[in-house]
Amino acid sequence: MLDKGEYSFSTCWNIKKHSIGRNMIEEIKELGFRQVELNYNVTEEMMKTIEPMIEKGEIGVSSVHNVFPFINDKDYDTDSVMLGFDDEVKRKRSVELLIRSMEYANRYGAKAVVVHPGEVPFEYNIDSDLKKLYKDHGKDSPEYQKLWKIMSERRERLSPLYTKRIQDSLEEVSEHAAKQGWSVAIGIETRSRSYQMPSLMEAKTICDNLKGSPVYLWYDIGHAMMMDRMGLYDNLKELQEVKRYIYGVHIHETLELSDHWCPYVHSKDLQYFDHFLEAIDFAKVKVYELKAVCQTDEIDESHRLITSKIAAMKG
């Protein structure tokens, strides 16, 4: 199997089929990866068989995904108000959980923690209604545009409040990390729902205001493609503005509004994904975040295309 070098691979690909951590990691190693990103579904139980592998150098950990290890609490899952909670007790708890994830990252020699920092809260998941309208009627339909206007007006109105609160929470975490002497980056990830934060410009604001802290942008390529399609931001244009803030990338491609596919391979488009090669090359941590249906040969082919195209781009 082709050695994937500095590239890492997220456990989200095969976590559902394994109960024993070691077996999950062995399967990823068979793909040729020497590093993994431990995602938020990895349990403490699974870590009992993974930790010895890390200690012996059988596998490296590039990054962990907050909240890590897994906690069974809907308030702090991946789609939550998280670091922006109005409720101060819940916000403090989110800060503590991110510190806990960083502690594990530091222990495992990981370079970064990936964090979903928050959202502008809505009464219900308005994004799933928007995606359904997009699919059934198209982005330019009156139905989609009407609901989009409702979502985006609330999002724009409340974004400054939640951006500030997320920023304050990240500042607390950064101060704690500095006291501990941890050199672990915090990557705030571009998200997959239109009301979630940060947009690329929100990420830029947070990073600018926290200069000197370990807070960076974690550029999730597939999510950014989806948000561009839905109309939240101009991905390719804004990527040029935020590229220098990137610490890590999640590498995957979207088909319409479905994410976590193998770049180039599943879209059958051998050009469009080229727009992201510079960001991948620039990122200090490069992680494939693929869904379970992606097959070994598809993962290999995708990796071959990405690395050969980057090599050609660099001449």
pLDDT at residue number 212: 96
Q: Are 248 and 187 in contact (CB under 8 A)?
A: yes
Whole-number mean pLDDT of the chain? 97
Rounded to an integer, the average pLDDT of 104-128 is: 98
**Where would I find the H helices in the chain?**
21-30, 44-55, 88-107, 126-137, 142-180, 200-209, 221-230, 235-242, 277-282, 296-313
What pLDDT is recorded for position 188? 98
Asked if the model's pLDDT at residue 2 lies above 90, the reply is no
Give residue 81's pLDDT band: very low, low, confident or very high (50, 70, 90): very high
For residue 1, pLDDT over 80 is answered with no
Q: 269 pLDDT band (50/70/90 cuts)?
A: very high
Q: How confident is the model at residue 142 (pLDDT cuts 50, 70, 90)?
A: very high
Q: What is the pLDDT of residues 96-113, one digit of tens each?
A: 999 999 999 999 999 999
Q: Report the candidate in 216, 203, 204 with the shortest Cα–Cα distance to residue 174.
A: 216
CA atoms 289, 295, 297, 301: torsion sign: negative
Mean of pLDDT values over 73-85: 94
pLDDT band at 262 (very low <50, low <70, confident <90, very high): very high
Q: Which two tokens stand for residue 142?
A: 């009156």
Q: How confident is the model at residue 192 (pLDDT cuts 50, 70, 90)?
A: very high
The dihedral through the CA atoms of 80, 86, 90, 95 has a sign that is positive
For 8-124+153-313, CATH number? 3.20.20.150
Write down the pLDDT at residue 42. 98
Q: pLDDT tens-digit profile of 286-312?
A: 999 999 999 999 999 999 999 999 999
SS3 assignment, position 93: helix
Listed residue (199, 227, 255, 235) closest to 139, CA to CA: 227
The residue-averaged pLDDT of 128-133 equals 98
